[in-house]
Amino acid sequence: MDNFSLSPLDKASGSGFQSKNEYLFGKIDMQLKLIPGNSAGTVTAYYLSSQGSTHDEIDFEFLGNLSGDHYILHTNVFSQGKGNREKQFYLWFDPTADFHTYSILWNPQRIIEFKNAESLGVAYPKNQPMRIYSSLWKADDWATRGGLVKIDWNEAPFTASYRNFNANVCVTSSSSCTSSISNSWLNEELDSTSQERLKWVQKNYMIYNYCSDSKRFSQ
């Protein structure tokens, strides 16, 4: 995929794209350069989703912020229409200065970092093929400081840039995976080095984890 941008987000419109095909499992890489400057109230989303009231979905949402503040990465996983699996992280680098690679790894055992726990009665997205989507939209009712900071339309139009899309995928089932590439991702999990890196991010930059939110989830 050549370089391209989602633009503009202004008072009149947002923007987005979707893949032509649906996929059931895959490792998907995309390089993004996010909105620079005062991006408060904007959301740049990059996600997989099926359709319908019992849809599955895997989300990356980048929540804009005031100039000089950290971007927030907001993740969520939906299965059979149920989400409420949000995690949030401050990005520890400047995602507006250059392109960075963001990857979704989804196989029958896990979505990094969400394990298949069907044996415990937790639904897992494995039966509904999903398309790849991205969008740039106004979300100043919640995105920045819980909606306290609104979009400054004097900064518009807002632009996010994309390049180097790569997808190693299964089209409709795990038996229909792309044959010309290695399918090692079908059983991939984090190695010890990656686990340590993830722990470092969780310790230093995680600001919300649904697993520890006892007010929302008393159990």
Active site residues: 57, 61
Residue pair 62/72 in contact by the 8 Å Cβ criterion = yes
Q: Which among 145, 137, 124, 157 has a CA at the least distance from the CA of 207?
A: 145
Task: Sort 33 into a burial class: Cβ within 10 Å, 0-12 / 13-18 / 19+.
Answer: buried
Q: In whole angstroms, what is the distance from residue 204 CA to residue 57 CA?
A: 27
**C-alpha torsion angle, residues 218, 51, 15, 161 (rounded to 10):** 70
- Strand arrangement, sheet containing 114-115: 4-9, 158-169, 26-33, 100-106, 110-111, 114-115
**Residue 9 identity (one-letter amino acid):** L
Give ∠ CA 91-92-97 in degrees, rounded to 5. Answer: 80
Other Cβ atoms less than 10 A from the Cβ of 17: the count is: 12
